[in-house]
Amino acid sequence: MCVLIAAALVLSCAANPEPEKEQTDGVYTNPVARMSLPDPTVMMDNGVFYLYATEDIRNVPIMCSPDLVNWKKCGTVFSDAARPDFVEGGGIWAPDVNRIGPGQYVLYYSMSVWGGIQTCGIGVAVADNPVGPWEDKGKMFISKEIGVTNSIDPCYFEEDGKKYLFWGSFNGIYAVELSDDALSVKEGAEPLKVAGSAYEGTYIHKRGKYYYMFASTGACCNGFNSTYKTVVGRSTSLFGPYVNRKGEKMLDNRHEILISGDYDYIGTGHNAEIVTDKAGTDWILYHAYCRDHSDRARTLMLDKVLWDGEDWPLVNKGTPTPFGAKPVF
């Protein structure tokens, strides 16, 4: 009986990708959202989770959830009339949402055309509410201005009152200090390379004495031929060196693999922020192709993060979990 139930849950991604069906019992199934939500970023505000993603849903979707499992669309960041345009014909990719200061929400985003590695760049928008209205503040920088090829995939980190942006895609991961309002690069600040050319989709997480650099490597967007996976390294310093278990550096493209694809879920990468539930359990959102999904969208996945005796993160057995107990909120 248990085997039959498990098989049914694994195959659930095949059925009716939209509309989303509410998961009301104590178990969730992956993907938790069957619509296309690549490169997610998430935050909680007043008991509600807000998720933003690369704009396969035009103008950057805003998704809402009470529990990380049941998601509904509650708006878009931009409109056609108020859409960023600093890259001609550019798409808006890989946003990163943050609450910075009292009552200010800041969304960093990438703008690029496929292959435009010198003309792509990072912009920023602000709001006083997670669902907006969002005010675009425009370009922060583009690749050829800041000297970092393929300047996409922003990640904000704040420490000791200083604000930093991490970013980059397969040409090195870089960090730079931001201005006090976090809306521009600090005057005189220079980019610092912190990881090698194997990575994109960076996220920095602080736990205990360690900073963890989560990133993605491989081919993101080739459907069932994608090789994307989520990897991690750690450091006792925000700026590295980030290393794997053997002490080998991410600057040399060495890392630990956190989540790889399997037969059912392919291209497991570009994770969002780690969220801790009321039971103290950590959770991670990321995207993957579901083999039985009819339109081959990069759907939204949820997995529990465990920490081993040496304080390294683990997910399942290194592959996605088809189903499990829901987070506690």
How does pLDDT run across 219-264, given as a tens digit for each residue?
999 999 999 999 999 999 999 999 999 999 999 999 999 999 999 9
Identity of the amino acid at 157: F
| Ranges in the chain, pLDDT < 70 | 1-19, 294-295
Per the listing, tokens 């935050």 go with 43
pLDDT value of position 24? 77
Identity of the amino acid at 225: N
pLDDT value of position 294? 57
Q: Are 80 and 92 in contact (CB under 8 A)?
A: no
- Give the whole-angstrom CA distance, residue 148 versus residue 60: 25
Per the listing, tokens 């098989």 go with 7
- Give the whole-angstrom CA distance, residue 320 versus residue 278: 23
- Give the whole-angstrom CA distance, residue 175 versus residue 188: 14
pLDDT value of position 5? 33
- Give the whole-angstrom CA distance, residue 143 versus residue 24: 45
Alpha-carbon distance values, 24 to 66, 261, 301 (Å): 12, 27, 17
pLDDT tens per residue, range 1-25: 333 333 333 334 433 344 577 887 8
| Sequence-distant (≥ 6) Cβ neighbours of residue 134 within 8 angstroms | 77, 78, 107, 125, 126, 127
| Sequence-distant (≥ 6) Cβ neighbours of residue 314 within 8 angstroms | 258, 305, 306, 307, 308
pLDDT value of position 277? 98
pLDDT value of position 1? 32
- Give the whole-angstrom CA distance, residue 192 versus residue 157: 14
| Sequence-distant (≥ 6) Cβ neighbours of residue 303 within 8 angstroms | 30, 259, 283, 284, 286, 315, 316, 320, 321, 324
pLDDT value of position 296? 76
3-class secondary structure per residue, the chain: CHHHHHHHHHHHHHCCCCCCCCCCCCEEECCCECCCCCCCEEEEECCEEEEECCCCCCCCEEEEECCCCCCEEEEECCCCCCCCCCCCCCEEEEEEEEECCCCCEEEEEEEECCCCCCCCEEEEEEECCCCCCCEEEEEEEEHHHHCCCCCCCCEEEEECCEEEEEECECCCEEEEEECCCCCCECCCCCCEEEECCCCEEEEEEEECCEEEEEEEECCCCCHHHCCCEEEEEEECCCCCCCECCCCCEHHHCCCEEEECCCCCEEEEECCCCCEECCCCCEEEEEEEEECCCCCCCEEEEEEEEEECCCCCEECCCCCCCCEEECCCC
- The pTM of this model reads 0.93
